[in-house]
Amino acid sequence: MSIHFINRIKEACDLHPGKTAIVSGSESVTCSELWRISEQLACYMEENTPEGKPVIVYGSKSPYMLISFLACSKAGRAYCPIDASLPASRLQDIIEMIESPAVVATEEFPLPANVIMTKSMLSEMAHTGAGLSSPEASISSDSWVSGDDTVYIIFTSGSTGRPKGVEISSDNLCNFVSWVGSLFPEDLPILNQAAFSFDLSVMDIYAALTLGRTLCCMDKTLQQDIAAAVRFIKAKDIGYIVSTPSFVNTLLSEPSFCADNVAGLKGFRFCGERLTEQTASKLLVRFPEASIVNTYGPTESTVCVTGVSVTREMLESEDGISIGAAKPGTTVTFDNGEIIISGDTVGKGYYKDPERTKESFFINEAGERSYRTGDLGYEKGGLLYFKGRADSQIKLNGYRIELQDIEANLCELEGVKEAVVLCKKSGDAVRYLTAVVVPADHERELLETSGALHVSREIKRRLSERLPSYMIPKRILFIERMPLNGNSKIDRRKLEGLI
Ligand code: AMP
């Protein structure tokens, strides 16, 4: 049995009460504040939210987001993190799925909803005890999420055009946390790059909180200004970067991102997409002493389940960069080349979606929960290797996208009769997306009068009301009808020749 993750956080908070636990922009909280405010909010939640129902925690990178996650866990409520950049209609889909959940909104919530707590209410509660029946609010550990209770639900792209919610249990998280700490051996600040609504952030959040390290959150604006991002890493004396390889690739375009300038940086912890030999070898030149760990896994199995230290020898080997070996508690097997993950971090399934859950999750012969990843791979010399996908799920700049999700949303737009989304690649990496669209008859006229550029801009604008910006195709190509192959299916290969 793994130690409960909340006990680990408590121990870290007791040990370093005055240490900065989380810093984000101009906001920061100490370990003791993290513990105390989350106790208060947990008590408030016990009284003001229905038991057994997930709570939406909405916002960007405020420390109050993480305080709220911990409060939900202490109150025995599953939390569902939603980033404030999510378009309202996608948010509406999630609200409908959860059926009018309580919402903790650290930023203005864009839809009518049962908002039980805002950032200013939270701050007032922390300072004056406002809203609490007892100012000494503390919650019994009997109330904490435990065992197979859902600890969080993370929504990810779904092939039907609606997001799907991956349900992770308290035990899954405890088991993940008991392993992930070993990837951060030194007491150094940890960088958070991923939005809290992506499961990659679970790695940095829980490593930092359970080990008593400072979590330094980098917001989106900073991430778009590479020189400023490097200055931030230096100023905060970041020791570990947890990110997708894509993010570090952008940092590498800045010459000041090197060991001479960013001396505190000791390690890179990657997950979420292929780590290319180019990125790893550039890093080894810029940071010769740093440790690089490549981890692999899907949201469905709590962030990652394999890991390996990337060495110079590995870069030169025939098979290239491995994704490593399975962590304790996990077994990786193959079914016709598809990676199957079994073990103690495989989640409960998709929220309120037994059918899709049944397609991908099952109990193996050893009685362990198992997940069909859709990833292709193989094992050699005790190490695992990733070979690509068996379906149309892709990674673009580290973001997981089902191409059918974009296609379904495009087809729901007025004026679009049929749509196929394709990847423009360089090597294995996706550079951008192109949508091939057959316009509805009445749209053809508009195309003739206003031109393709105008119509494609309009389609992108309307699509961005439904999908996150990273899912919007860069190019839209109009054709009269879809080419068909011998099986009367859309000939994607032919379309690929057009882009
Ligand atoms: P997500 O659920 O967003 O973490 O995406 C999971 C998917 O990302 C996996 O199923 C893989 O397709 C891909 N992925 C994750 N880690 C790696 C890695 N180290 N190398 C290659 N692909 C990866």
Task: Please check whether residues 186 and 254 belong to one and the same domain.
Answer: yes
Among 261-270, 277-286, 303-312, 444-453, the least confident range: 444-453
Q: What dihedral angle (degrees, nearest 10) is formed by the CA atoms of 126, 129, 132, 138?
A: 70
Nearest CA to ligand 1 atom 4: 298
Q: How far is the CA of 386 from the centre of ligand 1 (A)?
A: 9
Q: What is the pLDDT of residues 126-157, one digit of tens each?
A: 999 888 888 777 899 999 999 999 999 999 99
Tens of pLDDT, residues 198-241 = 999 999 999 999 999 999 999 999 999 999 999 999 999 999 99
- What are the pocket residues of ligand 1 if the criterion is a CB atom closer than 6 Å to any ligand atom? 156, 199, 271-275, 294, 296, 298-299, 323, 373, 375, 386, 389, 395, 400
Question: Residues with Cβ < 8 Å from 122, sequence gap 6 or more?
Answer: 37, 41, 64, 67, 68, 104, 106
Same domain? 171 vs 94: yes
Segment holding 82, helix H or strand E: strand 79-83
Query: Would you state the pLDDT for residue 444?
Result: 86
Q: Yes or no: say if 339 and 377 are a contact pair by the CB < 8 Å rule.
A: yes
Please give the share of the chain, as a percent, with pLDDT higher than 70: 100
**Atom nearest to 304 CA in ligand 1:** 16
Across the range 97-112, mean pLDDT stands at 96
CATH number for the domain spanning 489: value is 3.30.300.30
386 CA closest ligand 1 atom index = 21
How far, in Å, is the centroid of ligand 1 from the Cα of 271?
7
Q: Whose CA is nearest to atom 3 of ligand 1?
A: 400
Residues near 390 by Cβ (< 8 Å), separated by ≥ 6?
337, 338, 374, 375, 376
Is residue 13 located within the same domain as residue 117? yes
Mutate to test the pocket of ligand 1, among 83, 199, 386 (most ligand atoms within 8 A of CB): 386
Structural domain that includes position 305: 5-383
Segment 300-319 shows an average pLDDT of: 96
Residues 409 and 321 placed together within one structural domain of the fold: no
Please give the distance, rounded to the nearest whole angstrom, from the Cα atom of residue 239 to the centre of ligand 1: 24
Centroid of ligand 1 to alpha carbon of 400 (angstroms): 8
Residues 202 and 122 in one domain: yes
Residue 163 belongs to a domain: yes
Q: Which residue puts its alpha carbon closest to atom 21 of ligand 1?
A: 274
Integer Cα distance of 295 and 241 in angstroms: 13
First to last CA, the chain: 53
430 and 492 housed in the same domain: yes
pLDDT in tens, 149-196: 999 999 999 999 999 999 999 999 999 999 999 999 999 999 999 999
pLDDT higher than threshold 80 for residue 257? yes
Q: Is residue 388 part of a domain?
A: no
- By alpha-carbon position, which residue is closest to atom 10 of ligand 1? 298
Specify whether 341 is located in the same domain as 468. no
- Cα(202) to ligand 1 centroid in Å equals 14
Count up the domains in the chain and report the number.
2
* CA 78 to ligand 1 center in whole angstroms: 24
The reply to whether 219 and 289 lie within a common domain is yes
Instruction: State in Å: Cα 395 to ligand 1 middle.
Output: 8
Q: Which of 273, 302, 383 to mutate to test the pocket of ligand 1 (most atoms within 8 A of CB)?
A: 273
- Give the closest residue (by CA) to ligand 1 atom 7: 298
> 131 and 259 share a domain?
yes
φ and ψ at residue 111, rounded to 5 degrees: -130, 160
The overall average pLDDT reported for the chain is 96
Whether residue 193 lies inside any domain: the answer is yes
**Residue 136: per-residue pLDDT:** 76
**Statement to judge: residues 67 and 129 lie in one domain:** yes
Index of the ligand 1 atom closest to the CA of residue 323: 19
For residue 82, being part of any structural domain is answered with yes
Residue 279 alpha carbon to ligand 1 centre in Å: 17
Residue ranges of alpha helices (H) inside 75-199 are 88-98, 119-128, 170-180
Residue 391 counted as domain residue = no
Same domain? 408 vs 273? no
